[in-house]
Amino acid sequence: KVTSDKTDKTDKTDETTPGPSNDGEEEKVPFENGIPTLGFPSISTADFQFNIEKASEIIVEKVEEFVNKIGNGRLVLVDLSHGSKILSLVKSKAAKKNIDPKKFFTFVGDITKLQSQGRLNCNVIANAANWRLKPGGGGVNAAIFDAAGPDLDTATKKQAGSLSPGTSITVPLPSTSPLFSKEGVTHVIHVLGPNMNPKRPNCLKDDYQKGCKVLRDAYTSLFENFASIVT
């Protein structure tokens, strides 16, 4: 008798399958939609070359500070791959804190396709922006501006022409943007983190005292802006 008729994929080498990054554990993440949810990338840790160990400490510290100040809202740290170092560092540090796992979790997927590919509705997403708030340039910034279409650039320009490191700005997305209509994203929050990459403007040249302060300010600003949308 053949007993195994399971169609589940157990191949954990599949890097493209979106979902909660519970690596091998039972799925615990609730997929209820309609809950105010911020999907955010790890600010500054790729192109801006910020140390991921230090960044993971700051993310967990700031999540712990804000997770109970956002009503019934949720915070979700997103990255593209199951191999993401920042996701695994944050996951293990958050597990040691008293943080409700329904209100904060990590998620593997493309932040511009969370609903269509990952069944996770984030009504707000954060962007790791550049100081000029310009489309393109690679990373999550290029992905978000591409997915949102020209509406995002127009709406962004109405709010501001530039950002200082450690600050963020909320941009309501017009309903004509595909990111709104296909993914249910109503707001994008652009965040400018500290830059440690000498090839980018305003490099902090390894000054992590300043860098950590700017990254803390960036997450404070992001989570405060999310709180003012949802509470």
Task: State the residues that interact with ligand AR6 by CB under 6 A.
Answer: 41-48, 78-80, 86, 110-112, 128, 130, 137-141, 143, 193, 200
Q: Shortest Cβ distance from residue 180 to ligand AR6 (Å)?
A: 17
Q: Shortest Cβ distance from residue 174 to ligand AR6 (Å)?
A: 21
Q: Which residue is nearest to ligand AR6 (CB)?
A: 139
Q: Shortest Cβ distance from residue 145 to ligand AR6 (Å)?
A: 9
H helices, E strands: number in the chain: 7, 7
Q: Shortest Cβ distance from residue 7 to ligand AR6 (Å)?
A: 27
DSSP-derived letter for residue 203 is B
Question: What span, in angstroms and rounded, lies between the C-alpha atoms of 138 and 140?
Answer: 7
Q: Which is nearer to ligand AR6, 6 or 205 (CB)?
A: 205
User: Which of 212, 198, 209, 213 is closest to 52 using CA atoms?
Assistant: 212
DSSP-derived letter for residue 111 is T
Q: Which is nearer to ligand AR6, 44 or 69 (CB)?
A: 44
* 3-state secondary structure at position 72: coil
Q: Which is nearer to ligand AR6, 141 or 186 (CB)?
A: 141
Within 10 A of 200 (CB to CB), how many other CB atoms are there?
A: 14
Q: Which is nearer to ligand AR6, 55 or 230 (CB)?
A: 55
User: Which of 50, 60, 36 is closest to 185 using CA atoms?
Assistant: 36
